[in-house]
A and B are shown apart, each in its own frame.
Chain A
Amino acid sequence: MSPDDPRYGPEVRRRMAGLAGAGDLPPGGDLVRATAGDREQGAEVVLQVQVTAGRAQQLRFRAFGCPHFLAAASWLTERLRGAGRAEFSDWDWREAATALEVPPAKYGRLLVLQDVVRAVAGNWPGDGESTV
């Protein structure tokens, strides 16, 4: 990929450079964890959220997928910091599509992110693990 590759917007390039938010949170407390997607289908994500006082204090992700998908997962860990359960429940993939200039062919992968965000809401807080 060259810096002027038109397939990837600036936010995707910035995110892919560091993949901020990748990794795991330490277990314990009100840690919510959900997974979505299927590696066989090209996109799989695990989202971990540390909930404190009803708000997402910290988020981490692990993901398998294309650069748009990885960058969107990274973006999500900042976008939803401080959010409450209702914001997780209502989060819509189109926000990521716009922010990261995701091409329509990749929209299906963003739905996987929406699935994982809403699964976290379904487990909020401390409901254990949900798999979508």
Chain B
Amino acid sequence: MSAVVYLDNAATTPVDPRVIAAMLECLGTEGDFANPAAVAHEPGRRAHRRVEQARAEVAALVGADPAQVVWTSGATEADNFALLGAARFYAPRGRHLVTSRTEHPAVLAACRQLEREGFEVTYLKPGPDGIVSPGQVEAALRPDTILVSLMHVNNEIGVIQDVGSVGRLCRARGILFHVDAAQSAGKLPIDVERDCIDLLALTAHKLHGPKGVGALCVRREPRLGLVPLLHGGGQERGLRPGTLATHQVVGMGAACRIAVEEGDEDRVRITALRERLWQGLVTLPGVTLNGHATQRAPGILSVTVDGVEGESLLYSLPGFAVASGSACATTSAEPSYVLRALGRSDRLAQSSLRLSLGRYTTSGEIEQAVQAIRAAVERLRAVAPPGTAT
């Protein structure tokens, strides 16, 4: 058993034992292991029923119809499919997209690919609080804009974008709206109908499901066109061919079902823990919150600790799994592009920590984290040259 306190739930979460149990039912000779497309025989039909049940569970989490759910390998594939598939389909209508500078690389890299294909992309700069206002989006729209992409919750700083307002203004103009909900699904209410979301990217492993499976919810009424990324059999109505990994999608379904049943309770408890963590750190001089003070997801706390170098701070927390504000502390220590987009200097971006809580985070672990971070900061500041926040 690891003694490490895990506070990196925004990177991935441990799989819920109930999810594991559901997945195991789809493995082994006695399980629902058959190819879910092989409905000509009973084992195949059993697997097919499990897949469709999972599809309904995913749909229920986000207010979608089960027929809208297309299985993918995760949110990266779902984001790529949404952006590339929709842009290529609707290219005759226009070749302009709008997104923000603080999107996940899965969206930004897909946009770069579209630029190579001749599309234009407007990258909106969020305010210092990390929020992209609906007014900014509206001002960026053009007659040839075909799609707007905005993440619901930022993976680094946890701020919540007003996707409902953006969705409504896009819907009123006939522009597609894609939302990356990898960090929000199961943690915040989201409803594709209410929020006028045409394409919603999901992943299982951020909500205590397995890695390697996700989904893209695709608007059906009126039907939305997508050019597939993959070509093969006719699975997923030809949108995403390939034999479905029954145990994976069943695991995602179970994770979504649990999130529906327990999400409210988790949200209240995790928000309280995050607030306790923040209160324990904010009294340290030079500690500032990254992102909006209240418009934020329950489980993500990003702080800048002025006067402390980020890699040394991480080094000084050996019993804790946390993330830094560096893209890669191993070699280049390149500062986070998200924090830089918020106006943080390279130094401050590198002096940042992301602490992300989950279903299994305990109050005792939060107390340990507060004490350890405070001690590490004080030790590193004690050896720093004058000028450090004290």
Contact = CB atoms under 8 A, between A and B. Distances in A.
A8 B318 CA distance: 13
Nearest to B321: A2
A3 B318 contact: yes
A53 interface: no
Interface in B282-297: none
A40 B331 CA distance: 18
A66 B309 contact: yes
B382 interface: yes
B383 A39 contact: no
A69 to B, nearest CB: 8
Contact of B350 (A35, A42, A46, A70): A42
A40 B315 CA distance: 20
A65 B312 contact: yes
A66 B333 contact: yes
A64 B317 contact: no
Interface string B291-307: 00000000000000001
Interface in A1-52: 1-3, 7-8, 16, 19, 22-23, 35, 39-42, 44-46
In this complex, the interface size class of chain A, counting residues with CB under 8 Å from chain B, is: 20 to 34
A105 interface: yes
Interface residues of B, number: 26
A63 B312 CA distance: 11
Nearest to B384: A64
Nearest to A103: B331
Contacts of B275: none
A23 B383 contact: yes
B28 interface: no
Given A1-B317, A16-B315, A63 B384 contact: yes
A63 B383 contact: yes
A81 interface: no
Contacts of B317: 1
Contacts of B382: 22
Contacts of B379: 19
Contacts of A22: 382-383
A62 interface: yes
B382 to A, nearest CB: 7
Nearest to A63: B383
A2 B350 CA distance: 20
In terms of DSSP, what is the predominant structure of the interface of chain A? mixed
A19 B383 CA distance: 8
Contacts of A46: 385
Interface string A56-91: 000001111111001000000000000000000000
B312 A66 contact: yes
B29 interface: no
A35 B385 contact: yes
Contacts of B333: 42, 66, 105
Contacts of A1: 314-318
A67 B309 CA distance: 9
Nearest to B318: A1
Contacts of A45: 385
A103 B330 CA distance: 9
Interface of A: 1-3, 7-8, 16, 19, 22-23, 35, 39-42, 44-46, 61-67, 70, 103, 105
Interface of B: 4, 307, 309, 311-312, 314-318, 330-333, 345-347, 350, 379, 382-388
29 contacts: A1-B316, A2-B318, A3-B318, A7-B330, A16-B315, A19-B383, A22-B383, A35-B385, A40-B347, A42-B333, A42-B350, A44-B384, A45-B385, A62-B383, A62-B384, A62-B386, A63-B385, A64-B309, A64-B384, A64-B385, A64-B388, A66-B309, A66-B312, A66-B333, A67-B315, A70-B383, A103-B331, A105-B332, A105-B333
Given A62-B384, A63-B384, 20 more contacts: A1-B315, A1-B318, A2-B4, A16-B316, A22-B382, A23-B383, A39-B347, A40-B345, A42-B333, A42-B350, A44-B384, A44-B385, A45-B385, A46-B385, A63-B385, A64-B384, A64-B385, A66-B309, A66-B333, A67-B315
